[in-house]
Amino acid sequence: MTVFFEETDIKKAKSEEGNNSFDNKKMLKSSMAKKKEHDIFLSFKEMLTIVFIIIFTIVTVNPVIYAVLKFLVFNRSHDNNSIDTGTTTIDTKTIPFMDSLTDQDMKSIFVIVITITTSLVGFGLEGFVSVMYMTGEWSDMHENLWKLVNFVFPLLSITWVGLAMSGNFLALPLMVVTIWKFGFPEVFFHLHSGLFHNSYNAVKRTQELLSGFGQILHHHGVAGFIAVLVTGLTQNEIKPRYFIQISLPLFIQHWFHLLKYVPSLKVLYNVLMILSEAWFQWNTWLLVDLFYEAHWIGGNVVILVLLGHNLMTLSGFLSPLEAYYSQKSKGEGIENDNHQDDMNISSRIARMSVKRLSTFKNDYEDKEEIFNDDEGLEDFPC
């Protein structure tokens, strides 16, 4: 696997090693061979693990939510076809199974297909971008693009919700690129950090996993939410104002996303996030009954979004505990990197795909294993 280095690290290495660049290349190649299984590499096995987790989560959580709502929460008969859905028999030729479906049944199947399709494309987009980053170098341009994506997020979100309310299916691709942040592999980074970043303490890894699973549920739930809205599945039972009522706090919440990159505004950012999250949770829990009564899919997608937000919120509330254990580790002289700037997505990419020269310091001293062949040395741009 090709390994890239930050420009500052390259300059530092050159200044320390002088004119021995050829020897450095050999030692770096040796170090890479010894550290192939280091946790910051996203190997093919790790990629498959993350993909499996995403698929397994989606496949298992949906039926569980359906069963809980139907048999434990509401525990009453639920007839989605109680409203006249225009099931007049027409002289058509079709397979028997299709003949037995009402118009509302067909629309429900369409919603499910839309939800699965948009989720596959969204998470697949993250996978493709992850692979692209494995063969590229994170730069200031990437960092600025990441911040730009978050800056335009509220406007794009309002646009695709409005399109969906008018029945415009262009809402679907716009929703995918917005929710999945133009492919920036946020979900993949959270899961990778929680599963494979061994230098993190247990609390930090738990935070990463909670954020990762929370985003899986949230993104999949939003895809279903928009599918319900754009197809008009519940248009006879739910007024558009209730879709807006759920979405409004989240639009406003994302106004303040970039504040977390300003250290002096971190406290303000956290306060605004807590207030907007409380508003969203209060709004949405009050509407679960309405959405479920309209259609079981409506209840499912709302619960998915709520569960996703709850997991991500729980991850945030664990931050003081993580800071305590990290400080304790520092006091005991235990080396860790829990307090890299995790709000900065470049640090995630650095941990997952960019091998920093500082990790090779000990390997410079160990000159017993140096390859004698020059094959592949061009992979090291130093």
* Domain edges within the chain: 7-13+23-77+99-368
Q: Is 240 helix (H, G, I), strand (E, B) or coil?
A: helix
Query: Residue 71: how many CB atoms within 10 A of its CB?
Result: 10
Q: How many CB atoms lie within 10 A of CB 84?
A: 10
Alpha-carbon span 122 to 185, nearest angstrom: 10
Q: What is the pLDDT of residue 31?
A: 43
Amino acid at 314: L
pLDDT surpassing 90 at residue 158: yes
Q: Is the pLDDT of residue 167 over 50?
A: yes
Q: Which of 135-149, 153-167, 262-276, 304-318 has the lowest mean pLDDT?
A: 135-149
Q: How far apart are CA 176 and CA 123, in angstroms?
A: 9
Given pLDDT bands bounded at 50, 70 and 90, which one contains residue 76?
A: low
- The answer on pLDDT for 293 being more than 60 is yes
The one-letter amino acid at 196: F
* Region of poorest pLDDT, from 102-116, 284-298, 328-342, 367-381: 367-381
Determine which helix (DSSP H) or strand (DSSP E) holds 353, and give its type and residue range: helix 345-353
What secondary structure does DSSP assign to 329-350, as a single string?
Answer: HHHTT----TTS-TTSHHHHHH
Over residues 323-373, the pLDDT tens digits come to: 887 777 766 655 555 444 444 444 444 444 333 333 333 333 443 443 344
Structure tokens that stand for 99 in this block:
């003949």
Question: Which is nearest to 222 in space by CA: 180, 258, 269?
Answer: 180
CA distance 287 to 240: 13
| Dihedral angle computed from the Cα positions of residues 23, 28, 30 and 34, in that order, rounded to the nearest 10 degrees | 160
Q: How many CB atoms sit inside 10 A of residue 168's CB?
A: 13
When the pLDDT of each residue in the chain is averaged and rounded to a whole number, the result is 75
CA distance 37 to 196: 10
CA nearest neighbour of 323 among 210, 200, 209, 214:
200
